[in-house]
Amino acid sequence: MRAVIQRVSKASVTIEGAVKSAIGKGFLVLIGICDEDTLEDVEWLVKKIANLRVFDDENAVMNRSILDMEGEILVISQFTLFASYKKGNRPSWFRAGSHEHSIPLYEAFCQQLSEAIGKPVGTGEFGADMKVELLNDGPVTICMDTKNKE
């Protein structure tokens, strides 16, 4: 699994002209899933995101997690995180997971993340054409890959 985690002041996702989800201060998480991913990847990524300390404490030091500041999370499925651009200039998506494999993991990720932070997470719609708006705070953007645990 690959995730791009952006610290935001606010974020929303619109589908077919209607706002599906909107959040205030917290994280916008773009999540990509490949066919090799498992529930172990979901669990590792949920734990990392819930405990990621990138919010300022009283001394303006990034030392607080989303749990500490009771922030919100918006999760958007993003198969393009698995783009292959090795050959030519038109990306290939062969590394992105199939719908049959990815949808249950996406749903498990959203559910486990919701449980980890103790509140519902906002979501987009898997496979839909989505318009995502955000006000990046910082900016702070962190990339994580469960196959490359730095």
Catalytic annotation, residues: 78-80
Backbone angles phi, psi at 70, to 5 degrees: 55, 45
Q: Report residue 72 as tokens.
A: 């919100």
Given a contact cutoff of 8 angstroms between Cβ atoms, the answer to whether 7 and 140 are in contact is yes
Instruction: Show the beta-strand stretches assigned E in the chain.
Output: 2-15, 18-23, 26-32, 55-56, 62-64, 72-77, 122-123, 130-145
Among 44, 23, 54, CA closest to 116: 44
Given a contact cutoff of 8 angstroms between Cβ atoms, the answer to whether 53 and 62 are in contact is yes
